[in-house]
C-alpha cells in the first residue's frame, strides 16, 4: 500500500479556520510570517495557533529569507516545521536547519528545466522539498499567487526524489495533479480562498475530499 498523501493547508490565520482545517482531516497547517503576504500572521498570533494545534495537526511556519533573529524567534514557538520560501541557498538552508533545530521544508520555484535541475542540491539540507510555480517577474512575493507550472517539466526529475506539490492547486484541479505528478504531498493556499487571504471552510473541505479520493 502506498504511503498516505500528506495534505497541507497553508495561510491559516484564525483559530476558527484552524479548527475547520483539523476537522476536515488535513495533515499539516501552515502559518505565514511575511508582511507582504495577505496571509501574514504575527509571531504572537502564530504562538497561539501553534498551541491550539499541538498534538492535533502538524504545524509549519512559512518564512521568506529570514534573518537569524527571526529564525530563533519562530523556532522558540515549537512548530513542527519551518518552510523557507525565499531565495535561500542550500548553504543557508543548512545553516537555518542547524540553528533552528526544526525540520525544514524548502519551497523551490519551478519554471524551467534549469529549476528542476537545481532540486537535487537541496535534498541533503532540507527535510522536504516543495515544488511551487515560479512567480512572474515583478511579483511582490514568492508564492501564494495561485499559479501552476508546467508539470511536464518534472518528467526530467529522478523518480526516486520525493516532493510535495504546490502552485495553482484547487478543489477542481488537485485530483488531476495527484494522478499526473504523483507527489507524496500537496499544499494549497489561494486555491481554497474566496478572496486573497480569506480562507473558505467549504473549499478546504472539498480540496481535502478530492485529494484523498485521487490516491
Q: Are strands 198-199 and 193-195 parallel, antiparallel or unpaired?
A: antiparallel
Q: Which of 202, 207, 162, 200 is nearest to 181 (CA)?
A: 162
Q: Which of 177, 178, 173 is nearest to 192 (CA)?
A: 173
Report the alpha-carbon distance of residue 115 to residue 95 in Å, rounded: 22
Q: Biggest alpha carbon distance in the chain?
A: 44
The residues, ordered by sequence, that sit 6+ positions from 5 with a Cβ below 8 Å of its Cβ are: 178, 184, 185, 186, 211, 212, 214, 215
Torsion angle in degrees (nearest 10) through CA of 119, 124, 126, 127: 110
Beta bridge partners of 188: 9
Report the alpha-carbon distance of residue 193 to residue 186 in Å, rounded: 16
Report the alpha-carbon distance of residue 15 to residue 10 in Å, rounded: 14
Residues with a catalytic annotation lie at: 10, 132
3-state SS class at 133: strand
Amino acid at each position: 500500500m502506498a504511503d498516505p498523501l500528506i495534505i497541507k493547508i497553508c495561510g491559516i490565520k484564525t483559530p476558527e479556520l484552524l479548527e475547520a482545517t483539523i476537522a476536515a482531516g488535513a495533515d499539516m497547517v501552515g502559518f505565514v510570517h511575511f508582511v507582504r503576504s495577505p496571509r501574514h500572521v504575527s509571531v504572537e498570533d502564530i504562538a497561539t495557533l501553534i498551541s491550539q494545534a499541538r498534538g492535533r495537526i502538524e504545524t509549519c511556519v512559512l518564512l521568506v529569507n529570514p534573518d537569524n533573529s527571526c529564525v530563533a524567534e519562530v523556532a522558540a514557538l515549537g512548530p513542527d516545521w519551518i518552510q523557507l520560501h525565499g531565495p535561500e541557498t542550500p548553504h543557508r538552508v543548512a545553516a537555518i536547519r542547524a540553528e533552528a533545530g526544526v525540520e525544514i521544508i524548502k519551497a523551490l520555484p519551478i519554471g524551467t528545466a534549469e529549476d528542476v535541475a537545481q532540486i537535487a542540491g537541496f535534498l541533503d539540507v532540507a527535510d522536504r522539498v516543495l515544488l511551487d510555480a515560479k512567480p512572474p517577474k515583478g511579483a511582490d512575493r514568492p508564492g501564494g499567487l495561485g499559479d501552476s507550472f508546467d508539470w511536464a517539466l518534472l518528467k526530467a526529475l529522478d523518480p526516486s526524489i520525493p516532493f510535495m506539490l504546490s502552485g495553482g492547486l484547487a478543489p477542481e484541479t488537485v485530483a488531476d495533479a495527484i494522478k499526473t505528478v504523483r507527489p507524496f504531498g500537496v499544499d494549497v493556499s489561494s486555491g481554497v480562498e474566496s478572496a486573497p487571504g480569506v480562507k473558505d471552510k467549504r473549499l478546504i473541505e472539498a480540496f481535502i475530499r478530492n485529494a484523498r479520493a485521487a490516491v
